[in-house]
Structure formats: structure tokens, C-alpha cells
């Protein structure tokens, strides 16, 4: 089955800096790559996703890039704010969705 690896496990940045989280996947048939944000004690919520026929997607301060050849994709958050502090999960899906282990992002004011 699909195996998704995510790095780093923790990330601390100053407010206003950029944050980058990287993931790799193993199943070349995976064609959907979402990113979820989970705040403490809350449910995971989708923040952005990308499909295999697209290389990059942006939504305001958030962007995701996908390299199908290398089987890796990344989340980029620019101009980080304290409310961006949370755990972020990448996922890859073909028939079922598999998640990475998560990255705890801390944005220091």
C-alpha cells in the first residue's frame, strides 16, 4: 500500500517568515494530494489540495507543489502568523487516503 513520509516533524519560525513542509509517497498511482491542518483538540481540516495533472496551486498565503517524477510534494506558507500554529498532515490517495506523520508548526510572535 501507499507509504507517505513527512518532514520535518517539528518546525519553528518567526512571525512573517516562510514555512516549508515536504512529503514523499511511494505509490505512483496516487493522484490526489491534500494537506490538512489540525489544531489542538480539533478535527483535521483541509487547507489545500492538488491533483496529479497540476504542478502547483496557490491559495493566498498557501501553496502546494507536486513533482510526480520524484514522487514528492511540498506545502509552502508565506508571511506566517501565530494562528498558523498547528499540526499539518500531508496525504496521498489513489483508492484510499494515507497520511504522513505530521509536522508541528510553531509561529513565534
Partner 1 sequence: DAGVTQSPTHLIKTRGQQVTLRCSPISGHKSVSWYQQVLGQGPQFIFQYYEKEERGRGNFPDRFSARQFPNYSSELNVNALLLGDSALYLCASSVTPSNTGELFFGEGSRLTVL
- Based on the shown chain and the rule CB under 8 A, indicate whether residue 75 belongs to the binding site for partner 1: no
- Based on the shown chain and the rule CB under 8 A, indicate whether residue 57 belongs to the binding site for partner 1: no
Q: How far apart are CA 70 and CA 18, in angstroms?
A: 23
Annotate 26-51 with DSSP letters as a single string: S-TT--EEEEEEE-TTS--EEEEEEE
Q: Quick one: 28 or 45, whose CB is closer to partner 1? A: 45
| Residue that has been written with the C-alpha cell 513533482 in this structure | 67
- Based on the shown chain and the rule CB under 8 A, indicate whether residue 101 belongs to the binding site for partner 1: yes
Q: Minimum distance between the CB of residue 108 and partner 1, rounded to whole angstroms?
A: 21
Q: Quick one: 12 or 81, whose CB is closer to partner 1? A: 12
Size of the site for partner 1 (CB under 8 A): 24
Sheet arrangement for strand 72-77: 4-7, 19-25, 72-77, 62-67, 56-59
> Interface with partner 1 by CB under 8 A: which residues?
1, 4, 6, 31-32, 34, 42-46, 49, 51, 89, 93-102
Amino acid at each position: 500500500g501507499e507509504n507517505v513520509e513527512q518532514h520535518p516533524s517539528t518546525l519553528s519560525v518567526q512571525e512573517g517568515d516562510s514555512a516549508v513542509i515536504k512529503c514523499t509517497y511511494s505509490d505512483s498511482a496516487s493522484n490526489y494530494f491534500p494537506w490538512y491542518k489540525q489544531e489542538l483538540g480539533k478535527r483535521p481540516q483541509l487547507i489545500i489540495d492538488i491533483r496529479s495533472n497540476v504542478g502547483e496551486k496557490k491559495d493566498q498565503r498557501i501553496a502546494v507543489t507536486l513533482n510526480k517524477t520524484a514522487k514528492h510534494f511540498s506545502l509552502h506558507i508565506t508571511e506566517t502568523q501565530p494562528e498558523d500554529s498547528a499540526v499539518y498532515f500531508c496525504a496521498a490517495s489513489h483508492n484510499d487516503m494515507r497520511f504522513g506523520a505530521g509536522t508541528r508548526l510553531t509561529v513565534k510572535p
